Each structure stands twice: as C-alpha cells, then as structure tokens.
Amino acid sequence: MARILVLVRHGQSEWNLKNLFTGWRDPGLSKQGHEEAIAAGKKLRAAGLKFDIAFTSALQRAQATCSHILHEMGQDRLETVKNQALNERDYGDLSGLNKDDARKKWGEEQVHIWRRSYDVPPPGGESLRDTGARVWPYYIHEILPHVLREETVLVAAHGNSLRALIMALEGLSGEEIVKRELETGVPMIYELKADSTIAKKAIL
C-alpha cells in the first residue's frame, strides 16, 4: 500500500478576487473557486484515489474546497478534521485591506517584505516562520501518523499553511519556500517512504 498525502490550496475566494489581504478573515469561495474545487475532486477521482481521512482549517473557504472534493469523489461522509493550526497566515493589520491600498500606505518595498520574506511579520500578524511553528507540530502529531499507516490523506488548506508544510516535506530553505507559488484548487500528490521522506510527487 502507498503512503499518499494530497495537498490542495482552497479555490479562489471572494477576497482573492477583490485583491484583499485575507489571513484569518473568513470569506467564502467565489464562483470560480467553487468550480476549481469541483474540478480538483474530479481530477483526484480520475487518478483513482480514495481517501481515508481529510484535514482542513477552521476557515470556510478551505472547508468548502474539501467538501467539494469529497463530494466529487463520492466520499461525502468521510471523517474530516478541522483545526485552526492549518489556517492561513494571519496578516494582522493588513487583513481586509486592498493590496494596492496597502502599498500606498506603507510603500511597495515594505509590503513586498511582509508578503515575501520568511521571518518578517506584518504589524499584528504572523510571518511564514510563525505559521510554520503551528503547522509543523500539527502535521507531525496529527497528519503524518495516518500517512505512515499507509492511509491516503487529504489536506485542504491555504497558500501559506501549505507552504510551511511543503517546506518541511521537501526540505526547503526559507528563501526557497517564499518563491514557491501555489495555484488555487490544484492537487499536489506526495507519495512518502516509510521514513516520511518523499518517494514521488505529482501535480494534477
């Protein structure tokens, strides 16, 4: 049996569409976001996967993505664990602001540092390193044991919580992970070895 971990960033949210910093705020999916999540489920079903358990964040855009995927796979009743450890990075004072307005207020360079540095948090918020500090223990203690028991596990979460997870999985540096772009609604399939390192990776 394979040890399969599938990571999916939620479909486009209403605030992605409006170019707003979202973080721990809780907008729903846009029309396109619902379509992306449904398409992800169809791709995973076509790939012949069947999940044993799913994990998602405490935010509705990730939960709706997870639900769409499981529905398309005929697994509506699958055990799904929701935990804020998988929430998006908290953007603090930037949350709810238009990204262009934030650049006008603080300057392009400063906003770029907050968005794309590994360890510099925005005012009142989290850096990617801070996000990792809650994602990594949760992954190690709650998610990874299922994978190592040769289960197939779905994680539907957010750009930065998944970046933190991918950083640990792929052994990337802070500089490397901040450059990694994750598209909305695109499944990433990892097959792990018994020592939890990667045997194979595929993007659907």
Catalytic residues: 10, 88
Instruction: Report strand pairing: 3-9 vs 152-157.
Output: parallel
Q: Which residues contact 141 (CB under 8 A, 6 or more apart)?
A: none
Q: Output Rg (C-alpha) for the chain, integer angstroms.
A: 16
Instruction: Report strand pairing: 80-82 vs 53-56.
Output: parallel
- Residue position matching structure tokens 């791709």: 43
User: Torsion angle, CA of 15/20/26/27, rounded to 10 degrees?
Assistant: -20
- Provide the residue type at 185 as one letter: G
User: Torsion angle, CA of 62/184/33/41, rounded to 10 degrees?
Assistant: -80
